[in-house]
Structures are given as structure tokens and as C-alpha cells.
Amino acid sequence: MSFRLRLTALAAAAVALAVVGAGTLMYAQMERELFGELDRSLNADAAVARGPEPARAGERFPFRAIGPAALALRPDVHAQVIDSSGRVLRADTRPVPALVTAEARAIAHEGNRTAFSTVKLEGTRVRVLAVPFGPNQALLITRSMDEIDRVLADTRTTLLIVALGGILLAAALGALVARTALAPVARLSATVEDVARTRDMSRRVAVTSRDELGRLGASFDAMLAALESSLRAQRQLVADASHELRTPLTSLRTNLELLARGQPTDELERQQMLRDLVSQMERLSTLVSDLIDLARDEETALPVEDVRLDSVVVDAIEDISQRYDSVRFTLQSMPSTVRGVRSRVARAVTNLLDNAAKWSPRDGVIEVTVGESEVVVRDHGPGIAAGDASRVFDRFWRAANARHLPGSGLGLAIVRDVAEAHGGSVVLERPADGGARFRLRLGSAASS
């Protein structure tokens, strides 16, 4: 069963329940009113039959009239007097012993209360009122309920027709409402199927309402936008990686072909070519390692733990100092703990220090500060041009004056990815006295 059909069925069922409930209450109220009116009429007839004064002990009861309908004075009402044994003493037309009940005999005996009862006589329901009628006697006032039963039967038929009509109308309206309400869902389904078929992530649902379905459509559009951006970034990464890999591979192939042909013959040139081969292989290894870091999701493969940021920075400075002995690092540190993957945090800090060391002049000083969930790296190199500041964290981007330096152009991009994966950020600041300052902030252990 489709969701639209279920919604229509639920609407029809809800209306059916409401109509049946309302009809039942209406029928019960009508039945109560009709019975009340009949009982009041029987009470009035009993008052007429009993006369203005009740009989006193030892006196004959003063009947109003003699002849047919003498007790009730109405042709549609039957009245008869019984004693405590149930024997009919007098009746309007003919005695009807079947109307005498145990409760009527008790009233004749006690003489201090009245009672209503419903008796079925020859297939017809009859309403009977028993009231005291002198010593050891009771008066039974009886009236047929045919008219009430006909009214109730007509009412039941009418309510049934109204209920069926209401259910059919509710089903039709429910189908219309379901079709209108589920129109955004239909568009969403069509968009999903089209995206799955064409792989076109630029499609959008474009739901403009502000209800739950509108928010669902907006969420789906946001998901499509994120997927489109991710797919675009993936394609760009593959294209950029292909371009970056082509250069060292071409150089390696050319140099290896020359060496295979015995070129060059000069020993110094041959040693230089071998050094170039090692340099290109190191560049290729660095590039592949950076690509692996960007491509794999290490957050699900490596343990997340509390990481002492100050300890990570100390280890990274010791490692970078061995590779760049021409620069000096100064450290101002305070205890700081972040929540994350230690290896990735260490990689981000190492990349920042490596970038600062590459751009620092000989005998330059790199200032490193560790604060609360934050690392600040300041170098005194040539700095970054204002036009390039917005691109320093892009993948494979390298400044024009950095082509001769080692690296893959992925170091700062990895720093940005690590920062965002740990609920933080990395920003570039351009001090007025030159150089560059990178501020890496990570999510603290408490906030994470």
C-alpha cells in the first residue's frame, strides 16, 4: 500500500470514527429524549386516572368515569388496576395479565413508590408505569412504543446513510489532500530517481514551503550541494594529482632513459643526474604520502583520544630541527589537551613548522606558541602576498616563487582538513613587520 493510499485510508477512518461517534451520541440522546417524553406522558395519564385525591383506608377509590377508557381517558393508553396478588381488578377495555410484573405486585403491596418497565407484548414493545392505587392495589398505565420504535428506526437509517456519505466524502477529500500534501514528496522522489539515473548532482528539489516537507526538501538540496561540492573536489583532486604526478614521472623516465643509453658520459654530470633522480623520487614519495592522507578517512580507522597538544608540538619541533638546521625555533607553551587523532594532529603541526622553515631566511627565528587548544607558528620570511592569501590552503596551489622549493602543494591543505575534522580552524595572519603567522585551533577535550 502506497503512502498516499495509507494517508487517504487514515483520513477516511478518522472521519468514519468521528461520524459514528457523533451519530451514536445523537441516537442515544434522541432515544433518551423520546423515552423521557413518553414517561412524562404516562405520569400525566396516571395522575388523571388516580383522580384529584388518593383513596383513604376503608373507602372505595373515586373513579372519574365508567366505560371504555374510563381510567386513562385516552384511547391510545391502556390502564388497569391490580391487587398485590397480580389479579386484574379493573381495566379500560380488557384485562391484560401479561403486563403484570413482580415489581408491579410489589408496588401494590408496598404502596410507596412507582416504577417504569418495558414489556414485549405480541411482538410489540410496551411501556408500563406502575403506581400505587389505594390499599394493596396498583395502577398500570400502558402505552405502545411503536411510534418511538419507528422514529428510532428511521433515525438509525438516516445516520447510517449520513455516515456512509461522510466516509465516502472523507475518502475523496483525503485523496485530494494527500495528493496536494505529497506533491513535494513526489518532486523529491522524482529528483532522487533522476539524480540516481543521471549522476547529475546539480539537480535541486526547490521546495519553497516552510513546513516539515519543505525542510525535508531543503535538507535534501543541501545534501545534493554537499555531494556536488565533494564530487567536484574529488575530480579536481584527481586532475591536480595527475598533473603533479606527471612532472616527476616524466623527469624520472627521461633521466632513466638517458642512463640506460649510457648518458651522460661525464662523471660529474652523471652524479648530478643521479641526485636529480633521488630528488624526484623523494618528491614523488612526498606527493603520494600527502595524497593518501587527503584521500583516506583516518578518523574512522585511528583511535580518537585526549592529545597533549604541547607535547605534540615539542616532538614536531625536534623532528623539523633535524631537517632544517639553519633556522632556530623558540617555544612558549602551556599545558593544553585536545580531543582527536594524535597522528593527524602531529601531521598538521609538522606541516605548519615545515612551511615556516622553508620560507625562513638562514639563521631565521620561528616563533611557536601553544595556548588553550591552539598552536601559533610565526616566521620572518618574505610573507604572503595579499592576492595569494585566499589560496594558501588550496590543494596543489604553490606561489610563483615557491616552484623551486621542495613540496607537493598539499601541506597547508592537509592542515585545513585536520583542523576542520577536529572541530577547529586554521587562519593566515599577515603581520605588519613581514613574515606570516598561522593560527591552528582545535576542539578542546571538554568541548569535543
Q: For residue 375, what pLDDT is reported?
A: 95
Percent of the chain with pLDDT over 90: 23
Query: What is the rounded average pLDDT for all residues in the chain?
Result: 82
Q: For residue 63, what pLDDT is reported?
A: 41
Spatial separation of the C-alpha atoms in residues 367 and 364, rounded to whole Å: 10
Displacement of CA 201 from its chain's centroid (Å): 25
pLDDT surpassing 80 at residue 395: no
Higher pLDDT: 407 or 334? It is 334
Spatial separation of the C-alpha atoms in residues 422 and 420, rounded to whole Å: 5
Tens-place pLDDT, residues 78-129: 888 999 898 988 888 788 888 898 899 999 988 888 999 999 888 889 999 9
For the residues 250-271, what does the mean pLDDT come to?
83
Question: Is the CATH number of domain 3-151 3.30.450?
Answer: yes
Question: Is the CATH number of domain 212-295 1.10.150.120?
Answer: no
Judge whether 64 and 55 are in contact, CB under 8 Å. Answer: no
Q: Where are the domains of the chain?
A: 3-151, 212-295, 302-441
pLDDT surpassing 60 at residue 404: no
Spatial separation of the C-alpha atoms in residues 142 and 130, rounded to whole Å: 9
Helix (H) or strand (E) holding 379: strand 374-379
Tens-place pLDDT, residues 201-258: 777 777 677 777 777 778 888 888 888 887 777 777 677 667 667 767 887 888 888 8
Q: Which CATH class is domain 302-441?
A: alpha beta
Bridge partners (DSSP) of residue 54 are: none
pLDDT surpassing 60 at residue 298: no
pLDDT surpassing 80 at residue 328: yes
Tens-place pLDDT, residues 4-16: 788 788 888 888 8
Lowest mean pLDDT among 56-65, 173-182, 360-369: 56-65
**What burial class does residue 237 get, using C-beta atoms within 10 Å of its C-beta: 0-12 exposed, 13-18 middle, 19+ buried?**
middle
